[in-house]
Structure 1
Amino acid sequence: MSKHSENQASESGLVVYKRLLGYLKSYKVQFAISIAGFLVYSLTQASFGYIIEQFIKALRMPESTSLLYVPILVVVLAFARGASFFVANFAMSKVSLGIINDLRKQVFDKMLYLPSQYYDSRNSAELVSLITFNINQVSNSASTAVKTVFREGFTVLALLAYLFYQNWQLTAIFLLVAPFMAGIVALASRQFSKLSKRIQDSMGNLAHITNESVNGYRLVRGYGGEGYERQRFNQASERNTKQGIRFNFIHSLQTPVLQFILSVALALVMLLVLNMEGAPEEHVAYIVMAGLLARPIRALTQISGQIQKGVAAAQSVFEVIDIPSEQDEGSYTVARAGGTIAINALSFRYTAIDSQVLRNINLHIPRGQSVALVGRSGSGKTTLASLISRFYEPSEGSITLDGVALSEYKQSNLRQQIALVSQNITLFNCTVAENIAYGHLADASMEAIRAAAKAAHALDFIEQLPEGFNTIIGEDGTRLSGGQRQRLAIARALLKDAPVLILDEATSALDTESERKIQAALTELMKNRTTIVIAHRLSTIENADTIVVMDNGEIIEQGSHEQLLAANGMYAGLHTSQALIQDDQG
């Protein structure tokens, strides 16, 4: 790394740390109490030299000083020292836990509104690691390190003040070694900064591999991937361990080197004291107090690594916080939309460097009509549905709902007008009723929830569960079959009763009998609603008002089922192929 790059990293770290310390403002009272406590604590430490001096003087000249004075002073200072340490430590712990709580809530709140592109390029384990691991590292930097700086820093200042008062010439010797010690600390800090970032990255990679292996354990075992996953994890763990060893090597070497330099200075002071005149108690007190400098100085030099860990973690946290939230500049709201959708000259690419996923899409969907999107995998069907739900913004062109551009709608209001049933069902580790009445549906009555479940043909299996609608279904509904999970998602959409319905392979996980039941429920659900159906099985969309055939991000055919068969184009070919496959299976 060049010197310029190192300076940039240092400046960046300083900016991050200043921003991090800004979170202390919410806890300024507790922080002030803590600092005051550490100040009292450090003064009691510096008072130790005075006690030694008075004790030796009392032994040498009993008649000059009360023998009870020193023991009483020891007890008083011990009480003050213990009380101040307790108050300071407890107050700082409240600051630390408060900062962790604030950061976690801020990051999680941010995650709820991050644009879809962010999740496309990240894995869930990294985000979990950010909240659970990184923020704890941040807290250590913002509170534990600050605590050490003030507690030990005040102690060093108090001891130096005492030493200067006793003999400023001798004390100046300690200041001569300060530049050497500062240079060692600066060198170590640069190494800590680089290694902390690498450790942070390797921890995210470990979490990612673990998450994939745990979530996909059936696939891992079914395909004999245990060895491959073990190798991946071991390599990531070893990289993390190597970075940790390097970090601890520098951290462990730094302290004894600094201690040796300090000891050389102390030895020189002792030699000079032997040749000086003065009272023995003053010389003994001076040497003892000079020796006490070693511990707080050692503690101060050790926090450099801790601070760099916190700064590296804070950078990753602030990177997420600083990402612009999903665009929501619209202000238009409507109680219930009509449902007319118009797509005009729409093109889309995920990022500026990606090729176009959709090209010049023009489509008009009248209110209450059903439109089916068909085509090969990767033709752009699901992407188009995601744009209608405004999970992405068009690169070119526009989409309107009832003549109003989607960008003009308030985001939350727009999504209240759309019910989505995806092929990737998301369920939560809560009750069946809570999964159906999710989000703004939470106030729905039990009668409405039950009616939605019945319409989705889910009531029969729900009533057979141990606690019916109050049954906890496990993480992502793992206690349910694929068809049961899909029927709960359809019940959720039925309960939402939105004017626009998007069905993305909504019957893909159902057996033939369940599909027949669901198809009947969906037919009822689609009445008087604008419906967009994405399907690979063409038999499920033959009754759609319009069938749109997509290929390579473009619309190449559209019309009714009969019209497209008569045109003998791509749709007719797909239909014939599927009919042959069904005949073979039959």
Structure 2
Amino acid sequence: MIKKRVYMLRGITSIFALFKSILSVAFALMLKKFLEYFETGSLEEMYGQVVWAVLFLLFYLTVEIAYNYFESNFIREKIAFLKINTMNSVLKKNLLFFNKHHSGEYLSMFTNDTKALEDDYYGNVFECISMGFNLFISIIVLIYLNSILGIVSVVCSFLSLVIPVITSNQLNIFRGKYSKKQDYLTRKTKSILDGFETIKMYDVENLALQEYAESVQDVEHNNQILKFAIKSSATVGRFMGYMVFFVIIFTGLFLSVQGKITFGVLMASIQLSNNLVTPIVMGVQMVAKIKSVKNIRNKFSGAEEEQIQNGKEKRVTFEHSVLLKNVSFSYDNESAVLQNITMEIEKGKKYAIVGVSGSGKSTLGKILMGIYDQYTGEILYDNDNICQFNTEAVAKLYSVINQDIFMLDDTIEKNVSFYKSISADRIEKALREVQLSQFIDMKSNIGENGVLLSGGEKQRLALARAFTSDCPIILMDEATSQLDNENMYKIENLVLDSEKTVISITHRLVKKVLQKYDKIYIMSNGQIVEQGSFDELIAEKGLLYSLYYIYGD
């Protein structure tokens, strides 16, 4: 709907830009006619022209106001469409692609870059269109009034318009550098604000401020270079515009003295020369600004490119099991993170994936969810290869509870439903199941990133979110690593008592928790080295036995 309005407003604004240009040229012709009546001494006809002049000016005022109205509406709708469409494209990308870019880059796009497009591109493009019409129509009329004046105006205008062509590439380079520096500053600012507590704890405020100040200075230095280049280009444009004005005036005066044109034609040519000077003086600067944001426009075009997955329309199901056969994986052809993983996840059962840090546990979880696709081996959902499915469809089978849980700065109710339309009764039921309803009002706000909740309450809230979803699998990735044993035990019990399939990735070894899992997979150096129940693996006195008696309970 927004896209249609954008197209409609663009067309209407372009039409009014053309009207503006026609009326501007018509004013010069009206001035010529008025002066010719003055020369002939026909006062009656001149009075009639005065009435027409007043009506003309009122009509011009109406057109100008309408143009400004539709232009401002177009810019508003276009920027809104750009932001919404870009966010839509970002949200459609898979996690692997999204994680290749720092979140600060996206923040900079939605703030700094959209502001640059609004001010330097969309704020100038219709003015350039209007000036282009003005320039073209004025030259045609000058040729009509006098061929010599027309030829002089064409030559001068052509020479003047060479300036933006010469300077545009350099301005584009300056704008690109400035945009990159803004991206970095946005990332730096976000990093400092996100790490505020840690910065205070380590007493490094001055060091953080020093890095921030250096980044700010770098940004402002590049901004100064860009502004100087734009203003220098505008200065040259003004110089060329004034040259055009004087050349046309002198040519007109010369022709008038020789009696080849009337006084009315002379004054009309002077007025029309303004229509040439303004596009040259202002147009050079505007075109330079428009061309300077080329890299930014390309950035948005790149963000909007959707990942096409041809032939992956088959519906993914999880009615029986997920089977991995000899799956291996590495990042960018580096050393293998996973090696020959073979495992089975049956519906309704509970599984733990245990290992020390760096053993490949979290990577295995992402492989199961279809986030990483550069692997060898087979992954089968109900005997159908995962390659047949859209990766997003596979990920939608999982409710993921991470160590760091994302919380909306909103109510408990909104955080449980998480953008979805879920009945209040269902949310209340989920809160009772995770034992939160008796402590917290469903309508209470939890603050930015859940700052008003304890660690245990955050985990319970995330669990309530998982319980209200239709996802058949709960994947816990070190979800309880920051909780004490008591809260960890309560959360694990809530998950294990649910009817959903559970996969828990953990390095914490608590006997009474691990004994509840149907199967435990022990990982080391990217391989599954042991599998079985807790009691079976302890009896074998293998790796789990060693880890448990070193790190357990």
TM above 0.5: yes
**Paired position in structure 1 for 2:433:** 455
**SS of equivalent residue, structure 1 residue 346:** strand
- The CA deviation string for residues 294-344 of structure 1, in whole angstroms up to 9 with x for no partner, is 12322221122321244222111111111516788142354xx33422210
Structure 1 spans left out of the alignment, 5+ residues? 1-22, 463-467
How far apart in 2 are the matches of 1:325 and 1:469? 40
**Paired position in structure 1 for 2:474:** 501
Question: Where do 1:197-236 residues align within 5 Å?
Answer: 197-236=176-215
How far apart in 2 are the matches of 1:325 and 1:124? 23
**Paired position in structure 2 for 1:345:** 326
The 3 A distance-change label for structure 1 pair 223 and 488 is same
> Is the CA contact 1:339–1:499 (under 8 Å) kept in the aligned structure 2?
no
> Is the CA contact 2:401–2:479 (under 8 Å) kept in the aligned structure 1?
yes
Q: What's the offset of the Cα at 1:515?
A: 2.8
Are 1:180 and 2:180 an aligned pair? no
> Is the CA contact 1:113–1:325 (under 8 Å) kept in the aligned structure 2?
no
**Paired position in structure 2 for 1:93:** 72
Comparing 481-490 and 62-71, the one that deviates more: 62-71
Q: What's the offset of the Cα at 1:550?
A: 1.1
Q: What's the offset of the Cα at 1:388?
A: 1.4
- Return the letter of the residue paired with 2:327: L
The 3 A distance-change label for structure 1 pair 490 and 179 is same
Question: Where do 1:109-258 residues align within 5 Å?
Answer: 109-139=88-118, 143-258=122-237
Q: What's the offset of the Cα at 1:114?
A: 0.7
The 3 A distance-change label for structure 1 pair 551 and 80 is same
**Paired position in structure 1 for 2:26:** 47
Percent of aligned pairs with the same amino acid = 22
How far apart in 1 are the matches of 2:50 and 2:361? 85
How far apart in 2 are the matches of 1:494 and 1:238? 49
How far apart in 2 are the matches of 1:421 and 1:48? 70
**Paired position in structure 2 for 1:531:** 502
- Return the letter of the residue paired with 1:161: I
The 3 A distance-change label for structure 1 pair 536 and 74 is same
Q: What's the offset of the Cα at 1:365?
A: 3.4
> Is the CA contact 1:382–1:534 (under 8 Å) kept in the aligned structure 2?
yes
How far apart in 2 are the matches of 1:317 and 1:280? 53
How far apart in 2 are the matches of 1:283 and 1:332? 76
- The CA deviation string for residues 260-317 of structure 1, in whole angstroms up to 9 with x for no partner, is 2343344344444244225334334333432452123222211223212442221111
How far apart in 2 are the matches of 1:108 and 1:268? 52
The 3 A distance-change label for structure 1 pair 149 and 266 is closer
- The CA deviation string for residues 42-73 of structure 1, in whole angstroms up to 9 with x for no partner, is 22222333343344445544346534133223
**SS of equivalent residue, structure 1 residue 459:** coil
Residue 451 (structure 2) aligned to one of 466, 478, 486: 478
How far apart in 1 are the matches of 2:220 and 2:183? 14
**Paired position in structure 2 for 1:571:** 544
**Paired position in structure 2 for 1:297:** 280
Q: What's the offset of the Cα at 1:410?
A: 5.9
- The CA deviation string for residues 413-450 of structure 1, in whole angstroms up to 9 with x for no partner, is 6445433222221222222122223355x32x433322
TM, length-normalised to structure 1: 0.85
The 3 A distance-change label for structure 1 pair 346 and 327 is farther
Structure 2 spans left out of the alignment, 5+ residues? none
Q: What's the offset of the Cα at 1:470?
A: 1.0
> Is the CA contact 1:110–1:325 (under 8 Å) kept in the aligned structure 2?
no
How large is the RMSD of aligned CA atoms in angstroms?
2.8
- The CA deviation string for residues 502-541 of structure 1, in whole angstroms up to 9 with x for no partner, is 222232233343233323323312xx54322212111142
- The CA deviation string for residues 10-61 of structure 1, in whole angstroms up to 9 with x for no partner, is xxxxxxxxxxxxx987644433332332222222222333343344445544
**SS of equivalent residue, structure 1 residue 356:** coil
**SS of equivalent residue, structure 1 residue 359:** strand
TM, length-normalised to structure 2: 0.90
Residue 10 (structure 2) aligned to one of 24, 28, 31: 31
> Is the CA contact 1:437–1:492 (under 8 Å) kept in the aligned structure 2?
yes
Residue 541 (structure 1) aligned to one of 514, 519, 526: 514
How far apart in 2 are the matches of 1:543 and 1:29? 63
Q: What's the offset of the Cα at 1:373?
A: 1.2
